[in-house]
């Protein structure tokens, strides 16, 4: 790997701009590099790379060991090759690869960031905390969403490694969206404990702060995250915070932990328990809906042609989708002042290495 370089190397083309037949000569971050074998026992490498606009991959058939050494997961690599289409999807035919030092790249080219104004989203979330009437739950929420040691990490953290809200600011965006819908439905259905539902919505994914970490420009699981998962970790974090609040009612803590532990809805989806309260049912459905809507939003943002069209088969949803471009969001992004967008990227870059450390 080369030493520190004086000049930052900028990308010239992004993944979402690549078309079949294009020659490739650019820098990417390595998302995955998996060794496999052909039926004849010949090793090959399945390489997946990305930049802030998307992901692309392809097989490496020759000089597999050398390629693997040049492509550590989370590292940066300069690839040469060509864009092909295989089974209807673009993939790379990789001819050459060389490692690129982290100091030689602009991280803003590789780190996807929430499109919304994170300062505005943070203020909106804190306004929802004010609406929580229960004094114990409000104190608990303030321990997470006003502490200087935690609050900045929450605002920058991703909500997932992939599928939905898998970008810096994703956890804030997702938690806020879930809480806003929860606040709406709490007033629509009788007998819903608004304070409890809002607290559960804001804290349901809090464990992802410790479950996920940034490895250079790639989101990956921490050791603790793999072994325990964010539902258990989040429940533990909430219990630890409640223990620091005088006379916090044990029964209230149990009900809140139930929301966190059951919000995946089913045990085969990773929840230790299924939803058993009104608030737990609502939170599980809202969380699932918001994740799916974000997945479709990401797909729609990639559609360049007008009108409805069929997507590729979506394995996570087990179906094809009939979607059109998300023009309103695209227009909002285009109209966003350049100065503000640049500041957002600069902030992501400056805070990149420290935001998700324990």
Query: What DSSP assignment string belongs to 12-73?
Result: SS-GGG--TT-EEEEEEEEEEEEEEE-TTS-EEEEEEEEETTEEEEEEE-SSHHHHHHH--T
What pLDDT is recorded for position 356? 35
Match 């300069």 to its residue by tokens: 78
When the candidates are 1.10.3470, 1.10.10, 1.10.3210, 3.30.70, the CATH number that belongs to 118-300 is 1.10.3210
Domain ranges of the chain: 15-109, 118-300
Mean pLDDT within 28-33: 88
Band of residue 145 on the pLDDT scale cut at 50, 70, 90:
very high
Q: What is the pLDDT of residues 278-332, one digit of tens each?
A: 999 999 999 999 999 999 998 998 888 899 999 999 998 999 999 999 864 444 4
Contact predicate 182/197, CB 8 Å: yes
Look at the domain 15-109 and name its fold. Answer: OB fold (Dihydrolipoamide Acetyltransferase, E2P) (2.40.50)
What pLDDT is recorded for position 147? 76
**pTM for the model:** 0.73
What pLDDT is recorded for position 342? 38
């Amino acid at each position: 790997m080369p030493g520190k370089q004086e000049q930052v190397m900028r990308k010239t083309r992004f993944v979402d701009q690549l078309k079949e037949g294009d020659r490739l000569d650019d820098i990417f971050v390595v998302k995955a590099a998996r060794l496999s074998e052909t039926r004849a026992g010949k090793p090959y490498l399945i390489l997946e790379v990305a930049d802030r606009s998307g992901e692309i991959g392809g097989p490496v058939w020759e000089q597999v060991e050398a390629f693997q050494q040049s492509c550590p997961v989370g590292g940066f690599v300069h690839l040469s090759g060509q864009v092909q289409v295989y089974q209807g999807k673009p993939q790379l035919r990789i001819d050459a690869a060389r490692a690129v030092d982290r100091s030689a790249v602009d991280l803003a080219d590789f780190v996807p960031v929430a499109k919304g104004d994170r300062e505005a989203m943070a203020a909106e979330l804190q306004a929802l905390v004010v609406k929580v009437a229960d004094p114990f739950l409000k104190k608990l929420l303030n321990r997470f969403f006003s502490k200087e040691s935690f609050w900045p990490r929450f605002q920058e953290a991703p909500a997932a490694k992939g599928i939905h809200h898998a970008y810096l600011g994703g956890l804030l965006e997702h938690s806020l969206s879930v809480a806003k819908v929860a606040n709406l439905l709490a007033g629509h259905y009788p007998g819903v404990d608004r304070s409890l539902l809002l607290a559960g919505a804001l804290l349901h994914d809090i464990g992802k702060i410790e479950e996920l970490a940034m490895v250079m420009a790639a989101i990956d699981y921490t050791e603790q995250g793999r072994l325990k998962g964010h539902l258990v970790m989040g429940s533990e974090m909430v219990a630890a915070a409640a223990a620091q609040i005088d006379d916090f009612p044990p029964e209230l803590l149990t009900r809140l932990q139930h929301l966190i532990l059951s919000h995946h809805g089913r045990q085969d989806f990773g929840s230790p328990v299924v939803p058993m309260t009104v608030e737990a049912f609502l939170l599980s459905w809202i969380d699932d809906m918001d994740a799916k809507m974000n997945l479709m939003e990401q797909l729609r943002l990639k559609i360049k042609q007008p009108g409805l069209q069929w997507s590729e088969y979506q394995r996570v949803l087990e179906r094809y989708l009939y979607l059109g471009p998300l023009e309103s969001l695209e227009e909002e992004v285009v109209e966003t002042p350049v100065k503000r967008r640049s500041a957002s990227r600069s902030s992501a870059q400056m805070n990149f290495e420290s935001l998700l450390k324990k």
